[in-house]
């Protein structure tokens, strides 16, 4: 055999060699769901890896991975900003500001988790769910 050998068309399965060609929608739904679920364990790194791997393969997975990544980045920005503001306000108010800031931080964390779960369920259903902008700043597209 030579290096340029091409098997006859009858020898190949329909659609080309196995593993190539269009994927089914369930594969895209699984990757979109994983982009949200992996955010529970690896806040920004997991969705970033899925975004970088799948960004040129599926627009649907790219949308959901970008949204999950944006939610993680927004949460980190709010957490760092809230911590700095909390420390400064706690110093000036002798700790009284923490009575307001700690419940706000807990409410934000619960809202973040709720919208992460809602988006994961919607991604698994095949919907293009959009998380409210206050919890998901559009930084990565």
What distance in Å separates the CA atoms of residue 106 and residue 86, rounded to the nearest whole number? 13
Contact 13, 103 (CB under 8 A): no
CA 57, CA 73: separation in Å to the nearest integer? 23
pLDDT tens digits, one per residue of 42-75: 889 999 999 999 989 889 999 999 999 999 999 9
pLDDT at 6: 58
Tens of pLDDT, residue by residue over 26-42, are 788 999 999 999 998 88
Per-residue pLDDT tens over the stretch 5-27: 555 555 545 544 454 445 667 78
pLDDT in tens, 86-100: 999 999 998 898 898
């Amino acid at each position: 055999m030579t290096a340029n050998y091409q098997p006859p068309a009858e020898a190949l399965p329909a659609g080309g060699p196995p593993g190539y060609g269009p994927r089914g929608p369930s594969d895209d739904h699984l990757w979109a769901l994983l982009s949200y679920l992996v955010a529970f364990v690896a806040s920004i790194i997991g969705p970033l890896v899925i975004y970088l791997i799948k960004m040129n393969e599926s627009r649907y997975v790219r949308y959901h991975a970008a949204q999950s990544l944006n939610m993680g980045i927004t949460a980190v920005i709010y957490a760092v900003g809230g911590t700095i503001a909390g420390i400064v306000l706690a110093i000036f108010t002798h700790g009284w500001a923490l009575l307001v800031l700690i419940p706000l931080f807990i409410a934000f964390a619960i809202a973040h988790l709720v919208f992460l779960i809602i988006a994961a369920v919607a991604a698994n259903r095949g919907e293009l769910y959009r998380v409210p902008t206050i919890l998901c700043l559009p930084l990565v597209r």
